[in-house]
Chain A
Amino acid sequence: MSVRQSLLAILDQGACYGYQLRAEFDRRTGSTWPLNVGQIYNTLERLERDGFVAKGDVDEQGHVYWEITDQGRAEVRAWLDSPVERTQGTRDELAIKLAVAATLPGVDVADVIHRQRRASLGQLQELNRAKYAGPDPDGPEELAWSLVVDSMIFAAEAEVRWLDHTEQRLALHPRHALQLELSTERPKRGRPAKVRS
């Protein structure tokens, strides 16, 4: 989980107390992923339990400075050296919605796609405007913010491209969709039998 690893990577730069750690995380993510102090302390306690951090000095205001351990350093290195694994599978809400819509007699899938594309383009417009109105990404915090916004822009663009592609595929399909009436065959209980070749 990247919040946990990010906090650890920040502690690798030097000991921090909880509130300070939250401020550092905000600063490095352009405040795009707000965390409350409770989450910070929970995470620190779990990191301590796993041997990645340890409580260190306490200053006169009572701030406990958390320090990274050697094991924690190795964990940071491993995190930076490995790719982020994306969730596999087909459980994307929009993909499922369109797949089902394409099988429903009487439903205009093109219309569903147009609505979705308008919404996705609207989201892209908002992101662009936010970026246009935002500060020049010269400072580290602004740069962090614009990197995160860029990632949202490219994700929204990918969705629009996929919608275009889907629209074209369906337009080229001889019946524009694969409309399915309810099947008259009753499904058997249990797992479907394997077909033997």
Chain B
Amino acid sequence: MNGAILRMVGVSQQYGVGELAVSALSGIDLEVMPGELVAVMGASGSGKSTLLSIAGGLQTPTVGEVVIDGEHLSTAKPDQLAALRRRSVGFVFQDYNLVPTLTAIENVTLPLELDGVSRRTVRRAGRDALQLVGLADRGDTYPDDLSGGQQQRVAIARAIVGGRRLILADEPTGALDSVTGEQIMKTIRSRIDAGAAGILVTHEARHAAWADRIVQLRDGRIIDESSRDKADAILAAR
């Protein structure tokens, strides 16, 4: 145990078999510590989204190990995996993925409801999460009545509700204008600074630069990685 919220060790993903096999990811080693945001950049087809799916347990790698909060995904049964995803991992997508027939707070608390948490606890956790993203007063609003930036902040609240600590964001600013995109990055950054860990997939260097470390992927391999000076400094200070 080294305190990492996410650990990927020797992760490879192949599609197809034999000569037709296509390698989407090869030998990925990646650790994300509490308070650390790692940006993953690369051209389309470089394996960014596959990496994110595997990191969040949506996809099982062909080879390698993924450990979230100390739990090994490869040995988890399907229902355990689903529960781990609900309790530990929050996804943020480019197109928000909110349920249009649920209010903002209902969207935020959905993973907790599915987990059978008591109604009162759910409600409080939902309000807390919305407050953290600056939407305390919009809980009863439906997604259609919110701006794109507000919808994305609801999605971030959903990703962190109930003490979840791993935020996996796939082009979270992709559908937003540049000023709103910057606000979203600030919101993510402040949640990371409060102790969460995150992976940010983006093709925009401006947004990647909100991360502590920037990893470059090409053809499924990490070809370059910026230093983790800041993360090291944080660890040294503990």
Contact = CB atoms under 8 A, between A and B. Distances in A.
Contacts of B166: none
Interface residues of A, number: 19
Given A114-B224, A168-B43, A121 B206 contact: no
B43 A121 contact: no
A16 interface: no
Q: Which of A127, A132, A156 has the most CB of B within 10 A?
A: A132
B208 A121 contact: yes
B204 A157 contact: yes
B142 interface: no
Contacts of A46: none
B205 A132 contact: no
A53 interface: no
A128 interface: yes
Nearest to B205: A160
B205 A161 contact: yes
Contact of A128 (B43, B209, B216, B223): B209
B121 interface: no
Given A117-B224, A118-B226, A168-B43, A132 B206 contact: no
Contact of B209 (A114, A127, A164): A127
Contacts of A160: 205
A6 B176 CA distance: 34
Contact of A153 (B186, B189, B206): B206
Given A132-B186, A157-B204, A125 B224 contact: no
Contacts, number: 44
Nearest to B182: A131
B226 A157 contact: no
Contacts of A157: 204-206, 209
A125 B209 contact: yes
A164 B204 CA distance: 11
Nearest to A131: B182
Interface string A124-136: 1101100010000
B224 A154 contact: no
Contacts of B211: 125
Nearest to B230: A125
Given A153-B209, A157-B209, 11 more contacts: A118-B224, A120-B205, A122-B226, A124-B206, A125-B211, A125-B214, A128-B209, A132-B189, A132-B210, A153-B206, A156-B205
Interface of A: 114, 117-118, 120-122, 124-125, 127-128, 132, 153-154, 156-157, 160-161, 164, 168
25 contacts: A114-B216, A114-B223, A117-B216, A117-B224, A118-B226, A120-B205, A121-B226, A124-B205, A124-B206, A125-B209, A125-B210, A125-B214, A128-B185, A128-B209, A132-B186, A153-B206, A153-B209, A154-B206, A156-B205, A156-B209, A157-B204, A157-B209, A161-B205, A164-B43, A168-B43
